[in-house]
Amino acid sequence: MSNRSPSEVVARRNGMELRRRRRPPLTAEEMSMIGSSKAFQPVSLKQEGDDQPSETDKLSMEDGDLGKDPVPSQISRQPSVTESTFYPNPYHRPYISRKYFVTRPGAIETAMEDLKCHVTKTSGETIQGFWLLTEIDHWNNEKERILLVTDKTLLICKYDFIMLSCVQLQHIPLSAVYRVCLGKFAFPRMSLDKRQGEGLRIYWGSPEQQSLLSRWNPWSTEVPYATFTEHPMKYTSEKFLETCKLSGFMSKLVPAIQNAHKNSTGSGRGKGLMVLTEPILIETYTGLMSFIGNRNKLGYSLARGSIGF
């Protein structure tokens, strides 16, 4: 009989079991094979053509100097790929642009084709260009408009991009236009609803001759001028970048007006065209109507969500 206690017997059995489960130490050859495995090789993020060593290269060189083997391990390099956008716009959100029906496939093309057919049937004039701009009325309300410049006429079209139909078409003889102003928007000092940016105003009548009733009537159509600015969808694509550019519209409009004045015999003004750079005044003070309408984009053909169940 052994004089060992039960606790010593259990401890001895546990030690024998641990010695059985203990794995033999790795040899030097096995350790070198693990060190040279491709799965544990560092990857360099340095681009091709860069002569400066990366942080991974420096660490691998320092490890090679400290170790017994002076030959550094191979490092696989993967060139980085950078994608660029043709017209970058950090403020553009695709889901917002989809709300505007004018950006739907074929909408702007259908509108241009309808207006081409109208000009061909009515006057037969040569169309010099189409533009998608925002009209700002005398009460600071924004309205989506298509503009056409022909040899003799400026057409301002209110187009329904939901039903794809022309709702209203205003004809302005180019020979009647006598002043074009380009500049930043200006408001009375006590105005509560101001806007930033630049606009273009076209005069074909004198504002001094405008009646007081039409001046303070937000739905008046007797205003002898029109004010435009760039459409909010200008930066959605290359196509809209050209169609919504205010400078491109002015570069076509001014020569067309000058040619119309030369060819016109009954203009009666005798002053020609004045192209000015000055602030564009919008006489609104409270601006509650334009504040609600412009914040909700009521002047645009816009998807406003489902109403029924």
DSSP character string of 128-165: EEEEEEEEE-TT--EEEEEEEEESSEEEEEEEETTTTE
- Record the tokens describing residue 296, joined without a space: 């909700």
**pLDDT tens for the 309 residues of the chain, in order:** 455 666 666 566 666 665 555 556 656 555 555 545 444 455 454 444 445 554 445 444 544 444 444 444 444 444 444 343 444 454 455 667 889 999 999 999 999 999 999 999 999 999 999 999 999 999 999 999 999 999 999 999 999 999 999 999 999 999 999 999 999 999 998 888 889 999 999 999 888 878 888 888 888 888 999 999 999 999 888 889 999 999 999 999 999 999 999 988 764 455 689 999 999 999 888 888 888 999 899 999 998 876 655
Would you state the pLDDT for residue 96? 72
CA–CA dist 96, 103 (Å, integer): 11
Nearest CA to 119 out of 83, 143, 155 is that of 155
The contacts of residue 106 (CB under 8 Å, 6+ apart) are none
- Record the tokens describing residue 146, joined without a space: 């298509």
CA–CA dist 209, 112 (Å, integer): 35
Cβ neighbours of 234 (radius 10 Å): 20
CA angle, 101 as apex, 98 and 107 as ends, to 5°?
A: 120
Would you state the pLDDT for residue 22? 56
Length of the chain: 309
Per the listing, tokens 């010099």 go with 128
What's the DSSP call for residue 237?
Answer: -
- Whole-prediction pTM value? 0.68
CA–CA dist 44, 61 (Å, integer): 13
User: How far is the first Cα of the chain from the last one, in angstroms, to the nearest whole number?
Assistant: 91
Would you state the pLDDT for residue 48? 47
Q: Is 109 helix (H, G, I), strand (E, B) or coil?
A: helix
Which region holds residue 277: left if phi is over 0, alpha if psi is between -120 and 50, else beta?
beta
CA–CA dist 223, 206 (Å, integer): 9
Decide: 191 and 284 in contact? Cβ < 8 Å: yes
CA–CA dist 234, 241 (Å, integer): 5
Would you state the pLDDT for residue 25? 60
Would you state the pLDDT for residue 68? 47
- DSSP string computed for 242-265: HHT-HHHHHHHHHHHHHHHHHH-S
What's the DSSP call for residue 171?
Answer: E
Would you state the pLDDT for residue 86? 42
Q: Is 152 helix (H, G, I), strand (E, B) or coil?
A: coil
